[in-house]
Structure 1
């Protein structure tokens, strides 16, 4: 094996041009939302969708990087450390479906996971940390998006960029909450699974293929949906983001619909 034993079996860790292209679209959308150089709604749409895909890539990267340092040396060979979304074993679940749900309904849908060889990892804490790494990335992303709000640093921030950040933060918070639900197929279950008895694992194992679908179906129940988004809104308010900020961000994002009159705040 060449190149320092294929980087000590860590595989290819160079950032993919595909990921850099997505980052470029995010920057272009953010620039448009900030400067108003082109349609504000379309700029917010580009910014939010591209930033959402970036966060999905970082979510999966966090799983993979943590697994690599926990003992799974096969991760690099699968291309997971390049941040290339096309390398995911379930690109449909990891990228395409979450993006479609953002466009259709404005909810941060958790994606599918990278394939990790759990047999190579020793220790229950390591298994739990691998599962927790993804949602923690969404939490960190939400903190960064809301920083101008909770730091009271919004003076001079154009309204379109502000509302776009607020809507993006909503997606991150909702994704983190959904992912942390302890249902088979989601990261929340992956966190607690190493601590369950073999009998308990066998009992819930049949739910793994449909666990996410069950959670999604529950969100269609108005009472459950209200409780879920009340929790999301409460967290965002704690971070300084008002319901109006997220509403106007969603309204701008859906540029193809008749938008409300968006107030000008900042520049």
Structure 2
């Protein structure tokens, strides 16, 4: 059975989009509408709900990209695990995949990703497929960043309400940071998964011992002021090239953290 045959063999039930995911999308849509129309919710609360729901949606899409790529690479166990339903409750590490990334966003406005889907790597032979599976997640974040910033670099967002535009700018920052951080070749992150199949077995064995600490190590390093400044300078350079200003991102963060006061206050 070829990978394409395996993908077609997955039952319709295993592919059906989860009501949990659809509920999160509904919260995102309603909150986004409230922010855009400036009605129904206080602006800060609306931005918080919109950004939080949209960030969870992007985390689900990130993990779905891993799972879908693994399915087409030969791991037919993906369907039975529920990963194709986009249900965040099906992830093997809900704390790392959803809770911690949300806490990082609330604490510091950093889109720090987490690991989630369990892939049976022994079912996949070619090394390049293993690399592609790992790259699929952060590539999804990169594509989402381009999509979120399209209204900015196309000029369509110029006449949009300020709060909604700044909320999109902050969301774009989360996607850019998630893509950059996840592509770091650090054990436990997807960037390491890209290069791992090409390393010598003894090197992999040594580095894999630190896989459980890679994510926390990156987060700890970002608390060092000098490294934090260099990282965010690079992030804002990317966003500036995509038409999003640092001021718009900061105002989006201020509205998101509505309990700290309104932007400009």
TM-score under structure 2 normalisation? Answer: 0.94
The residue aligned with 2:9 is: 8
SS at match of 2:80: helix
* More displaced 10-residue stretch of structure 1: 149-158 or 187-196: 149-158
Q: What whole-Å deviation, never above 9, does each CA across 1:4-60 have from its counterpart, x for those lacking one?
A: x99614560000000000000000111011000021111111110000000000000
For structure 2, the residue ranges without an aligned partner over 5 or more in a row are: 1-5
The residue aligned with 1:189 is: 192
- Structure number having the greater helix percentage: 2
8 A contact 2:111–2:175 mirrored in 1 = yes
The residue aligned with 1:211 is: 214
1:25 pairs with 24, 27, 33, which one?
27
Measure the CA separation in 1 of the matches of 2:130 and 2:226: 34
The residue aligned with 1:50 is: 53
* More displaced 10-residue stretch of structure 1: 180-189 or 10-19: 10-19
Deviation at 1:113, TM superposition (A): 2.6
Q: CA RMSD in A?
A: 1.7
Q: What whole-Å deviation, never above 9, does each CA across 1:95-119 have from its counterpart, x for those lacking one?
A: 1111111112111011223000000
* More displaced 10-residue stretch of structure 1: 202-211 or 85-94: 202-211
The residue aligned with 2:229 is: 226
1:98-109 mapped onto 2 (5 Å cutoff): 98-109=101-112
8 A contact 1:6–1:12 mirrored in 2 = no
Deviation at 1:261, TM superposition (A): 3.4
* More displaced 10-residue stretch of structure 1: 152-161 or 53-62: 152-161
8 A contact 2:134–2:193 mirrored in 1 = yes
Aligned length: 259
Deviation at 1:260, TM superposition (A): 2.8
8 A contact 2:17–2:87 mirrored in 1 = yes
Measure the CA separation in 2 of the matches of 1:124 and 1:59: 21
The residue aligned with 2:201 is: 198
Q: Which runs of 4+ in 1 moved over 3 A?
A: none
8 A contact 1:9–1:74 mirrored in 2 = no
Measure the CA separation in 1 of the matches of 2:59 and 2:86: 9
8 A contact 2:141–2:178 mirrored in 1 = yes
